[in-house]
Structure 1
Amino acid sequence: MSSSAQDLIPQLDIGRTFGALFIAVTLAGVLFGLCSGQAFIYFQTHSGTGMTLYKLAVIWLWILDALHLALITHCVYYYLVINYANVSELTEIVWSFKLQIILEVFIVYGVNLLYAYRIWIISKGQSRTLRLPIIVGIIIFSNSGVAIALIWAVYQCHVFSDLLNAEWTTFMTLGSIAFADIVIASSLCYLLATSRTGFSSTDSLITKLMAYIINTGCLTSICSLAAIITCAVMPTNFIFLAIEFLLAKCMAKAFS
């Protein structure tokens, strides 16, 4: 066992580390159930439209979401059941923990790309808003580089204490996700606001859509910012990791 692992064992607080992850997995299961219900309703509502891009996207996101839930469940099961009372193993990073980060990246940036495509569809025919999809696409593409840096840094870690040296990648990735969410939500609201027709029924629908976009954008941004704050304030426990477990579920639910 490495010296860094030996240093971590006396400080290990099961309640604030793996207990927090256990609570996160429980909440993730609830959110996955809600996403599954939304996906079922979506397919029931659009059963006569054939296979479209959005249907394929919903199926793909649901599969990734299910795999992500399976991986974080295995992660918690490995530490709290398989290695029950084996404190030395609790400091080692299991393979499923690293792999779930890759799936989380695919979910988050996949949803962002779908939103960018939605912005492009809405902005077509409006010359003054044609730059918005390009700007959003550049931001998402730049953020993907930050996510790759996060994955690389995590795969260099072998024990949880090593994650302290990779905090900068966590801050950069979560900060870029929150920034992209704000830009996407603002862009969609702007496009919808410029699409008002003057008819009360149509404008009322647009207002409801804008409120929904703001709420979902705030949900994912708050989740990212909460993970940043808890990581900065409490870097020795896993509360920020528990919030990260829920980020992918919030993104999938926001799109579906």
Structure 2
Amino acid sequence: MSPHPILEAAVGTPNFAQIFGPVFWGFCVSLILCGVSVMQGFMYFTRYNDKLWIRLFAGGMITLDFISMALISQSMYYYMLPHFGSFAPLNAVTPELTVECLISAMLTFGSQMYFAYQLFIIRRAGILPKLANASVVILATFGLAGGIGCAVMMFMVPQEVFANRNPTFAILAGISKGFGAAADVIATIAMCLFLSAADTGVTGTSSRLRAIMHLFVNRGILVTLAQIGLLITFFATSNHLYWLAFHINTTKFYVITFFAMLNARDSIWSASGKVSRMAESTNHGVSGIRYPPREKQLDDYELDSPGFEKATIHVTTTSTTAAI
């Protein structure tokens, strides 16, 4: 009798390539994404001198990402090389993947909390902004709890993860990924709404806000699609290992987008400044109107950089204050 009846029922007479092929290609993608996160981290630490807690937070993110990649590599080695051609290793999940699952939950939560911090510093009057930020924190915390629960179940019943999946493990995984995706969706929508409310028509400020909104939207779409893809493959193809390929890459997207938000500040500042100068030049050529100095154009808008050197936008209106 086959030791993996579920896998055999899914693919008929399974072979090694059918079972581990998707995982191998997912592992190759994760190596590329790890290289991208290393490059992003190098760019950040060599270009910016942010507040100490932000630099420590970024250092923790990149360190955990390194550890995650090392644990994934060790697990791929164990499944594919010493036991090549055998399905015996699928009897249990490796301890390395168990620890990596915990690290994945921590990295996801850390990235979401930094996004919630960005949402928090956009101070806007009313109860809805507070509810939106609280919802993001609560949903992300539930996602973290689900991820920790998954790691605990993987440690307690390692033989019921790949084949003969434990129902409790499946429920906890659904909580982790479902609540994580919901937190990302709410955070992205709230950020765009708050930034839109802060736009008062000043050319330079408006172009910067639009660029920041595009960055947040792209980040939200990427990580949400990754979470949803993992959810779908985890439950719809439970007799395959497709979900594992999504799992080892989803965390990388959170790390990359975290550093992308930090590193995009100079490019946003530079690009929006060019747009502003082009608009002033065009308007001057058409109407002959001479514009006041840039400081006077901004009037009530202050470009500040408390901890985000030279690239923080502080926008003040009658109802909204945004410092990004």
CA RMSD of aligned residues (A): 2.1
Mapped pair 1:237 → 2:240:
yes
1:41 deviation in Å?
A: 1.4
For residues 161-180 of structure 1, what are the structure 2 equivalents within 5 Å? 161-163=163-165, 165=167, 166-180=169-183
Q: 2-side partners of 1:237 and 1:63: how far apart?
A: 31
Q: Distance in 1 between matches of 2:200 and 2:54?
A: 26
Q: Which has the higher helix share?
A: 1
Which deviates more from structure 2 when the two are superposed, residues 60-69 or residues 151-160?
151-160
Taking only the aligned residue pairs, the percentage that are identical comes to 20
Structure 1's unaligned 5+ residue stretches are: none
Residue by residue over 1:4-46, the C-alpha shift from the partner in whole angstroms, topping out at 9 and shown as x without a partner, is 8353574544334322221111111111111111111122221
TM-score of the aligned structures, taking structure 1 as reference length: 0.89
Counterpart residue number, 2:43: 41
Q: Which of 196, 204, 228 pairs up with 1:201?
A: 204
User: Higher relative CO (CA 8 A, sep ≥ 6), structure 1 or 2?
Assistant: 1
2:225 is equivalent to residue 227 of structure 1? no
Q: Is 1:78 matched up with 2:81?
A: no
Shift of 1:148: 2.8
User: Partners of 1:58 and 1:96 in 2: how far apart?
Assistant: 23
Query: Could you report, residue by residue, the CA deviation over 1:74-108 in whole angstroms, capped at 9, with x for unpaired residues?
Result: 11100111222343234322111111101100100
Number of residues paired by the alignment?
Answer: 250
Match of 2:34 in 1: 32
Distance 1:5 1:155 in 2: 21
Q: Decide which structure has greater strand share.
A: 2
1:17 aligns with 2:19: yes
Q: 1:100 to 1:146 in 2, by over 3 A?
A: same
Deviations 1:203-225 (Å, cap 9, x if unpaired)? 11111111111111111111111
* CA deviation map 1:216-249 (0-9, x unaligned): 1111111111111122221111111110110100
* TM-score normalised by the chain length of structure 2: 0.71
Q: Which amino acid aligns with 1:151?
A: A
What residue number does 1:122 align with? 122
Which runs of 5 or more structure 2 residues have no equivalent in the other structure? 260-324
Instruction: Report the counterpart of residue 66 of structure 2 in structure 1.
Output: 66
Decide whether aligned partners of structure 1 residues 187 and 52 sit closer, same or farther in structure 2, where only a CA change above 3 A counts: farther
Q: d(CA) in 1 for partners of 2:204 and 2:18?
A: 50
